[in-house]
Amino acid sequence: MLRTNFCIFDSIMSNSIIKVRNLVKKYGDFEAVKGISFEVKEGEIFGLLGPNGAGKTTTLEIIETLRPKTSGEVIVDGIDLDKDPQAIKNIIGVQLQAAGYYPNLNLKQIIELFSGLYNKDVDAMALLDTVNLREKAKSSFKDLSGGQKQRFSIATTLINEPKIIFLDEPTTGLDPQARRNLWELIKQLRERGCTVVLTTHYMDEAEELCERVAIIDSGQIIALSTPNELIDKLISTGFKRTKAVKEANLEDVFLNMTGKEWREG
Ligand code: ATP
């Protein structure tokens, strides 16, 4: 399924909010990203999939202006990364690293601090509500469970009311309820007009959420399409699952027994 010469930079995709062309990232002699090109359409949920070490986070962080690229071109909402990275920062939502969560501040205070820095008037409690953390408003980040930390980090991407949100493995470590609830949150963000770019190792998540996905392997894009088209293409080669699929799986059993609501406040 190697797609080596697809030219996706043409004017057909005029509604693209992100354009990446021939992006290369070298760490010393090692080429982690090998000249990839893709576009993300305004308002879509776009997934970057690929094995560990494929170059997903590197690609994401270059677009987010957090890592320097070696060569290539990145245009975000018409802004050239080389010319005005600050203007890109202003319109994107990025999950803050844990180091950004000042240990002496509680969750509400962290949101208020960043709202001030972004010069936005954000209702911190309403934002905490969206990720079901109202009850933890007075807790510090370090005292949260893994899933709560993950949810808070997603809430922080929304503080500056971004046009585009980047989520790197947003549901890793979450229980099935929290995962599904975050899927709903991500869909709501798209309904509000946000473009979402995410990485995930969960193919069910990509299938559920993403309009289109790029599969990256060893720094190259080897497929880029809708999940449905990719599945149909595989089936057309005569592929058959070795194991019959039952009407339900273990996750269905788990959710059926434990419910779908958030399990930790
Ligand atoms: P994962 O699914 O494991 O998160 P990934 O697809 O996000 O992987 P990257 O984190 O982008 O992969 O890493 C791509 C490659 O670049 C890996 O081989 C990694 O070891 C290497 N790499 C990443 N950051 C650095 C760095 N700062 N210095 C040197 N090599 C790096």
The residue whose CB lies within 8 Å of the most ligand 1 atoms, and thus the one to mutate among 56, 58, 213, is 58
Ligand 1 atom having least distance to the Cα of 51: 2
* Residues 6+ away with beta carbon under 8 Å from 50: 56, 215, 216, 217
pLDDT in tens, 29-74: 999 999 999 999 999 999 999 999 999 999 999 999 999 999 999 9
Task: Kindly give the pairing relationship between strand 16-27 and strand 79-80.
Answer: unpaired
Q: What is the 73 CA–ligand 1 centroid distance (Å)?
A: 20
Q: What is the 32 CA–ligand 1 centroid distance (Å)?
A: 7
Helix (H) or strand (E) holding 79: strand 79-80
Most confident of 36-40, 154-158, 175-179: 36-40
Q: Are 183 and 15 in contact (CB under 8 A)?
A: no
Confirm whether pTM is higher than 0.85: yes
Q: Round to whole Å and give the CA distance between 241 and 109.
A: 51
Is 27 a pocket residue for ligand 1 (Cβ < 6 Å)? yes
Average pLDDT on 127-145 reads 91
